[in-house]
């Protein structure tokens, strides 16, 4: 946890921004996997963490904008809990760590919620159910009743990372870098993908925290979020590894590397890898306060298309191809997202409020609808840059049957790439006064550097 004054100041600012009414922030409970007492790894709600910092299940906080009163609600452990889980600080002791000096049992919440109550859209059914009970409102009205003022106020605070947050994020990114280097050094032909996932998880947990999201790792890198790890790796395969750590305080890292199972990429892999790398570098060079991230995304699309034209997979004019959306045959998702206490920071509050604003709406067209961040970048935003090329056989078949964008896509050559897989390169950046700064230590990224790591790990010399 940060020192109490961090949380006191954050709550003070939030009260000023929201102005009037009661702000209700729900912490998370333990969540059962397959029977009541078998729980998922516990994760506190990120906005609760931001304003109260306490990683403890079953707490709720209220901040009264009118009277200034702040209360943490929770129930003390019974002897039965202590027998199984050990003793814990009292609720008052926990609350004092974030500068809250009033606590009450959970049973007192409903009677404390009089008048205007601001709450966030719940993403767990249990919290939806609690809100329904406390506010006397039907379950299906709860999400609609979430406070836009509170969402906007929280986004306007959590989007700008302070120095102490950046230190914590950088800690997560450094562990993330170790996870990637560990995977790159560990992989060998004949291995099950799951063996590398195990290695990655070991490094994340050894770092003191956990994963910031379930590992995405596969030779089928064209599947954007592939959590299947049952393939046996063979020479000639590429592994796409997208993974991140979170610190004990909940701050995330998120990186992607793509590397060969053997010690070298094949010629085709090299060509497309270089295109993704060039796109990644072009996007990074464009990062600066004031630029719309949507424009960086479109610039990345143009760089990607120029590379694909060079290898013959696309044709025509790159700018026109991107305007028409033809690049989404290869790059179906967005260039990146905000990162902080969530790997997709504040996504539970709504992408329209986090990545867009009143003057820029999120698109609904294929490709752009998956761009989580489109608005202008500002100093102290933390974002990811993650371009990729994904060869998706079903998409090729579908578009080819419709002759879609045939003036830009060379379908005959693309047919021969159907078993190619996917490539993504991802790093995390903080936006500075004049540009951006890479977070965490660098991890091999050029073809030569990646092959060097692979050669060393396989006990081979690399020219």
With beta carbons less than 8 A apart as the criterion, state whether 161 and 185 touch. no
Radius of gyration in angstroms for the set of CA atoms belonging to the chain, rounded to a whole number? 24
The sheet with strand 216-218 has its strands ordered as 216-218, 238-243, 255-260
With beta carbons less than 8 A apart as the criterion, state whether 275 and 300 touch. no
Comparison of 216 and 298: residue with beta carbon closer to ligand GLY: 216
Reduced to 3 states, what is the DSSP secondary structure of residue 281? helix
Please report how close the Cβ of residue 200 comes to Mn ion at its closest, in angstroms: 15
- Which of 178, 242, 246, 428 binds ligand GLY (CB under 6 A)? It is 242
Please report how close the Cβ of residue 324 comes to ligand GLY at its closest, in angstroms: 26
The candidate with the shortest Cα–Cα distance to 443, out of 112, 53, 76, 180, is: 180
CA gap 424, 457 in Å, rounded: 22
The candidate with the shortest Cα–Cα distance to 414, out of 429, 431, 430, 394, is: 394
CA gap 442, 174 in Å, rounded: 9
E strands, 36-145, in order: 38-39, 60-64, 70-73, 103-104, 117-119
- Which of 168, 254, 345, 351 binds ligand GLY (CB under 6 A)? It is 254
Please report how close the Cβ of residue 216 comes to Mn ion at its closest, in angstroms: 9
Comparison of 254 and 451: residue with beta carbon closer to Mn ion: 254
Comparison of 109 and 338: residue with beta carbon closer to Mn ion: 338
Binding site for Mn ion (CB under 5 A): 254, 384
Instruction: Return the structure tokens found at 49.
Output: 């963490």
Question: What is the per-residue binding string for ligand GLY in 178-217, x denoting contact by CB under 6 A?
Answer: -----------------------------------x----
Question: What is the per-residue binding string for ligand GLY in 7-26, x denoting contact by CB under 6 A?
Answer: --------------------
- Within positions 334 to 373, which residues make up the interface with ligand GLY, using CB under 6 A? 337
Comparison of 109 and 377: residue with beta carbon closer to ligand GLY: 377
Please report how close the Cβ of residue 52 comes to Mn ion at its closest, in angstroms: 27
Residues 6+ apart with CB under 8 A from 412: none
Please report how close the Cβ of residue 337 comes to ligand GLY at its closest, in angstroms: 6
Please report how close the Cβ of residue 33 comes to ligand GLY at its closest, in angstroms: 22
Note the residues at the interface with ligand GLY (CB under 6 A). 213, 242, 254, 337
């Amino acid at each position: 946890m940060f020192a109490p004054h961090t949380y006191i100041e954050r709550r003070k600012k939030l009260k000023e921004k929201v102005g009037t009414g009661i702000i209700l922030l729900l912490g998370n409970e333990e969540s059962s996997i397959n029977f009541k007492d078998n729980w998922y790894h516990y994760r506190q709600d990120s906005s609760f963490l931001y304003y109260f910092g306490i990683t403890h299940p079953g707490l709720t906080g209220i901040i009264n904008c009118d009277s200034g009163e702040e209360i943490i609600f929770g129930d003390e452990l019974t002897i039965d809990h202590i027998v199984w889980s050990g003793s814990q600080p009292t609720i008052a002791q926990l609350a004092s760590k974030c500068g809250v000096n009033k606590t009450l049992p959970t049973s007192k919440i409903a009677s404390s919620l009089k008048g205007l109550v601001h709450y966030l859209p719940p993403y767990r059914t249990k919290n939806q159910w609690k809100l329904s009970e406390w506010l006397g409102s039907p379950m299906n009205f709860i999400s609609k009743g979430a406070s836009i003022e509170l969402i906007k106020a929280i986004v306007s605070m959590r989007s700008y990372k302070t120095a102490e947050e950046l230190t914590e994020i950088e800690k997560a990114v450094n562990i993330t870098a170790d996870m990637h280097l560990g995977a790159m050094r560990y992989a060998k032909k004949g291995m099950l993908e799951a063996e590398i996932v195990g290695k990655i998880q070991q490094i994340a947990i050894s770092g003191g925290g956990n994963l910031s999201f379930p590992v995405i790792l596969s030779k089928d890198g064209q599947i954007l979020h592939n959590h299947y790890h049952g393939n046996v790796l063979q020479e000639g395969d590429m592994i796409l590894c997208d993974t991140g750590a979170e610190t004990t305080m909940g701050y995330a890292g998120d990186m992607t590397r793509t590397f060969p199972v053997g010690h070298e990429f094949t010629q085709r892999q090299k060509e497309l890898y270089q295109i993704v790398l060039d796109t990644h570098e072009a996007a990074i060079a464009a990062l600066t306060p004031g630029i719309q991230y949507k424009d960086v995304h479109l610039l990345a699309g143009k760089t990607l298309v120029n590379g694909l034209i060079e290898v013959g997979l696309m044709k025509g004019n790159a700018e026109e191809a991107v305007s028409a959306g033809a690049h989404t045959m290869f790059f179906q998702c967005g260039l990146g997202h905000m990162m902080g206490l969530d790997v997709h920071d504040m996504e539970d509050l709504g992408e329209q409020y986090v990545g867009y604003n009143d003057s820029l709406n999120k698109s609904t067209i294929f490709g752009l609808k998956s761009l989580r961040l489109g608005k202008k970048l500002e100093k102290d935003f933390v974002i990811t840059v993650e371009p990729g090329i994904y060869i998706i056989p079903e998409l090729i078949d579908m578009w080819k049957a419709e002759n879609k964008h045939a003036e830009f896509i060379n379908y005959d050559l693309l047919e021969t790439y159907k078993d190619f897989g996917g490539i993504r390169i991802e790093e995390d950046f903080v936006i500075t006064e004049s540009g951006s700064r890479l977070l965490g230590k660098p991890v091999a990224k050029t073809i030569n550097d990646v092959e060097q790591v692979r050669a060393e790990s396989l006990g081979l010399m690399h020219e």
